Amino acid sequence: MRILVMSDIHANYTALVAVLKDAGNVDETWCLGDLVGYGPDPNAVVEEVQEIPNLTCLLGNHDVAAIGKMPLETFNGDAKKSLLHHEKVLTATNMDFMRSLPSKVKVRGEATIAHGSPRDPLWEYILNSLTARLNFDHFDTPWCFVGHSHIQSIFIRDEKADRVTVEQTKPDVSLQLQPKLILNPGSVGQPRDRDPRAAYAIYDTEARTWTPKRVEYNVAEVQARIRSAGLPEKHAVRIAEGW
């Protein structure tokens, strides 16, 4: 099967549409969470995601906060401002859809999927080899797909050498999957790897390949909506620079 793996859309509808168009026909879509937070389009994103066929979708930490199951005080000031706005504007139907989503890890064939990490699905960032090492024993499948950091990356465990390494993956360069790996498709709506293009990945279950992808979208259009909604200026600036 050809599976679209994406994460951290963060209420950026324009980026989401660009990713769905660029990915083309897929057999399934796995969304690793954070539909909302930061961006200007929470309702449009949730409604679009609901229409995706053969969808598996997890909750991210921003989603859990938006539906009232996590204190907003756990977020920094700018993130909290956006979440307060999203709480006000999200429709009851979209809230209900988000409440129906799981926040725990899921196993799909040879892959475990989580928002943050298999050890701490909502909050832990896997950003370095030490954190990755601590997580490899928390999933039994050959590989695990995570989001949350907004950085396209791969963590590789070499059991013989007892070594864990980390690499930033390259767009359109397919990786042959072999145990044991943790992979991140990057962020659709707010990349943080200095590449502002929307990020996702294609997972081929038969070929056992992972192909990171990037696609351009109209950033200025999204920035205008962020400013029009009165959301923090930081969120408008960063999507143009990828930080």
| 143: its two tokens | 């590989």
Report all structural domains of the chain as residue ranges with CATH numbers, in order of start: 2-241 (3.60.21.10)
Instruction: Provide block-wise average pLDDT over 10 residues at a time, the chain (243 residues).
Output: 99 99 98 98 98 98 96 94 97 98 97 98 97 97 98 96 95 97 98 98 98 98 98 98 97
Q: What is the pLDDT of residue 235?
A: 98
Q: What is the pLDDT of residue 194?
A: 97
Residue of 95, 100, 78, 103 lying closest to 43 (CA atoms): 95
Instruction: Give the residue ranges of DSSP H helices in the chain.
Output: 13-23, 42-50, 61-66, 77-89, 92-99, 129-136, 219-228, 233-241
Q: What is the pLDDT of residue 177?
A: 98
Residue 163: CA count within 13 A, CB half-sphere: 5
Residue of 74, 12, 2, 1 lying closest to 37 (CA atoms): 12
Question: What is the largest distance, in Å, between two alpha-carbon atoms of the chain?
Answer: 55
How far, rounded to the nearest angstrom, does the alpha carbon of residue 198 sit from its chain's CA centroid?
11
What span, in angstroms and rounded, lies between the C-alpha atoms of 48 and 55? 11
Residue of 63, 28, 29, 45 lying closest to 189 (CA atoms): 45
